[in-house]
Structure 1
Amino acid sequence: MRNLKYDTTMPHKSARELKKIRSLPAVIAMAGLMLLPASVLADAAVGDSVVSIGANLDTNERSAILDELNAPKDAQIIEVTNDEEHKYLGDVVPAGKIGHKAISSSLITYTEAGSGLDIDVSDKINYITESTYRNALITAGVTDADVVITAPNSVTGTAALTGIMKAYEQTSGAVISDEVKKVANEEMVVSQQLTEEMGEQETNDLINSIKVAMEKNMPANEEQLRTVINNVAQEYHITISDNQVESLVGLFTKMKNANINWDQVAQEAGKYSDVAKDLASKAKDYLSSPEGQQVLEQSKGIFAQIIDWIKNFFAGL
């Protein structure tokens, strides 16, 4: 692995605008199920923004980061310290690699319920990918927001997650336990290691599909969890080593024991898995086929109305 300097916090430009052309996979059959609990949006409103900024930035760096993020003048600013980074990353990243300064920063803008997470990472974040950030934030319960992550110089971005969760927690009314914060940070590190070894898409499919499988049938022990991981890997034709399996067993065992909302995590994870795209494609192809058209014509009553709704929905994808 490259000799990387681990960073401290996060952000960059404007997320949803920058990524409209390369938008994330749309969830199709889950529309309307992604609503956050009322308590989560108790204080934040759609369009509200909050900046998480590294506490060790000097005056010039701080000003430059706020300009780069195009942060609204009324955006709340929350500082993240190096001590907080060590608290949540200390169990999974050697202390020497975390460093002694908090410098990376982020901008979070709340979006409408069900819109999902849109992550934009500047090229100054040289290690952690957008999908890795997103999947870890889903585990932490962060949903429906545009997130931009950057830093004043080139860093890995491993500490950005701490700042995003702190900002989200302080402005949304949500409470993220230390246990969940730690497991989300570990997911980020483990996922990025897998991304380096097997590729981003494969890792993304693997992580998200394991989450969905666990929500459907929670493994009772490590052996059952190991079976789930191997079955998902086989389904996606992903070659996975014994060491990688054990790394995931360790991660998901901690996740299983943490107080996370598995229903919400699985729903959000399903939005970003190729399973959802495959189902959408197959359903659309079937409804466009002669056989599918015949079924539509023969259907009557409420069933026909439901089928029509599904047909129009998929036609718009």
Structure 2
Amino acid sequence: MRKSLIGIILLSIVIVGIALPAGFSAQADNKVITYGEATYNNAQYKSSVDNFFSQQANVDVGSINYKLITADEVNKIASTITHKTYNSNQILSSALVDLDEQGSIKVTVDKSKITTITADMYISALKSAGITHGHVYVTSPVSATGESALAGIMNSYEVVTDVEIPETVKEAANEEIYTEAEIIENDNVTADELSSLVDDVKETVQNENITDHATIVNIIYNYTVNNNINLTNSSIENLATSIGGVQAVQGDVESYTSQVTEFVGNNSGDFSLNGLFSRLGL
């Protein structure tokens, strides 16, 4: 019976191999790179970014599908959050998403280039969007805050899974990143302190299903007092709005998560051939 099962699986693999177009790579198909348009259009910049991805993710970047993130895409998001306008020369942050790597979501940030957004911040924002699996690598050819990279990361997940993230969810996750970046820039708080604050407050808000803005403000204020963190009243208000926005789209997040379950399941390698053989004990 076991030999028959192995034979059926191998025959299926041969048939699939015949049906697939030339150049198809199962490994590459589960990975996507998004380049900021300024990076992609500069050979030296692109080479720098590709070297980081090659070394950190141990991949052949030439075999991986890619997409460009343009200023228009970033501005579409920023227009409703920061009201800033970026030109094409400012879109530098680039990201590689690898869904072959098993386990909970991981983010590796090039700290020598990404100056503001930390790995924990990306993880928190991605979880807000219902993304909990895969390994994300973020870099830039020159110093950049890393804010615009989130748009590319979520775009990558859409490409790999072929499931579109609802616009409401994208906006909430991006607002979380932009708000944190602004607070770090203007307040006397470290990235680690702010990241811990956001995670703890989000957990409380989600567990108790809190939607009232004033209540969220009080939760944040009490946290800052108990942990000796100095945030201005304006920052607390903005952070409460951001966290409230994440909570408000949980229905859309759950809908998105249910659609990608068949792709990522309980771990990101489940849909690879290695994952198939592992589950069958072969």
Q: 1:134-213 to 2 correspondence within 5 Å?
A: 134-196=123-185, 197=187, 198-213=189-204
State the alpha-carbon separation in 2 of the partners of residues 92 and 157 from structure 1: 16
TM-score by structure 1 length?
A: 0.61
State the alpha-carbon separation in 1 of the partners of residues 175 and 46 from structure 2: 28
Q: SS at the partner of 2:98? A: strand
State the alpha-carbon separation in 2 of the partners of residues 230 and 46 from structure 1: 46
State the alpha-carbon separation in 2 of the partners of residues 46 and 74 from structure 1: 6
* Equivalent of 2:233 in 224, 227, 242: 242
| CA spacing shift, 1:237–1:59, aligned 2, 3 Å | closer
| CA spacing shift, 1:235–1:86, aligned 2, 3 Å | same
* Equivalent of 1:132 in 102, 113, 121: 121
State the alpha-carbon separation in 1 of the partners of residues 205 and 94 from structure 2: 33
Q: 1:29-40 to 2 correspondence within 5 Å?
A: none
Q: CA offsets per residue over residues 129-149 of structure 1, 9 Å max, x none?
A: 222222212212222222211
The answer to whether residue 58 in structure 2 is matched with residue 67 in structure 1 is: no
State the alpha-carbon separation in 2 of the partners of residues 179 and 220 from structure 1: 16
TM-score by structure 2 length?
A: 0.68
Contact 2:205 2:211 in 1 (8 A): no
Q: SS at the partner of 1:260? A: helix
Q: SS at the partner of 1:95? A: coil
* Equivalent of 1:100 in 59, 77, 88: 88
State the alpha-carbon separation in 2 of the partners of residues 45 and 228 from structure 1: 44
Unaligned stretches of 5+ in structure 1? 1-43, 265-317
Greater length-normalized contact order (CA 8 Å, ≥ 6 residues apart)? 1
Ranges of 4+ aligned residues in structure 1 off by more than 4 Å: 44-47
Give the partner amino acid of 2:212. Answer: N
1:236 CA displacement: 3.3
Q: CA offsets per residue over residues 55-99 of structure 1, 9 Å max, x none?
A: 342262434432332142432212212111111122223434x22
Match of 2:273 in 1: none
The answer to whether residue 223 in structure 2 is matched with residue 232 in structure 1 is: yes
Unaligned stretches of 5+ in structure 2? 1-25, 258-282
1:165 CA displacement: 0.6
Give the partner amino acid of 1:54. Answer: G
| CA spacing shift, 1:141–1:45, aligned 2, 3 Å | farther
State the alpha-carbon separation in 1 of the partners of residues 42 and 206 from structure 2: 46
Number of residues paired by the alignment? 219
Match of 2:7 in 1: none
State the alpha-carbon separation in 1 of the partners of residues 174 and 155 from structure 2: 13
| CA spacing shift, 1:156–1:112, aligned 2, 3 Å | closer
1:187 CA displacement: 0.6
State the alpha-carbon separation in 1 of the partners of residues 112 and 248 from structure 2: 35
The answer to whether residue 77 in structure 2 is matched with residue 88 in structure 1 is: yes
Give the partner amino acid of 1:127. Answer: T
| CA spacing shift, 1:156–1:146, aligned 2, 3 Å | same
State the alpha-carbon separation in 2 of the partners of residues 141 and 246 from structure 1: 24
| CA spacing shift, 1:139–1:220, aligned 2, 3 Å | closer
The answer to whether residue 37 in structure 2 is matched with residue 55 in structure 1 is: yes
Q: SS at the partner of 2:63? A: coil
| CA spacing shift, 1:112–1:46, aligned 2, 3 Å | farther
Q: Which moved more, 1:182-191 or 1:69-78?
A: 69-78
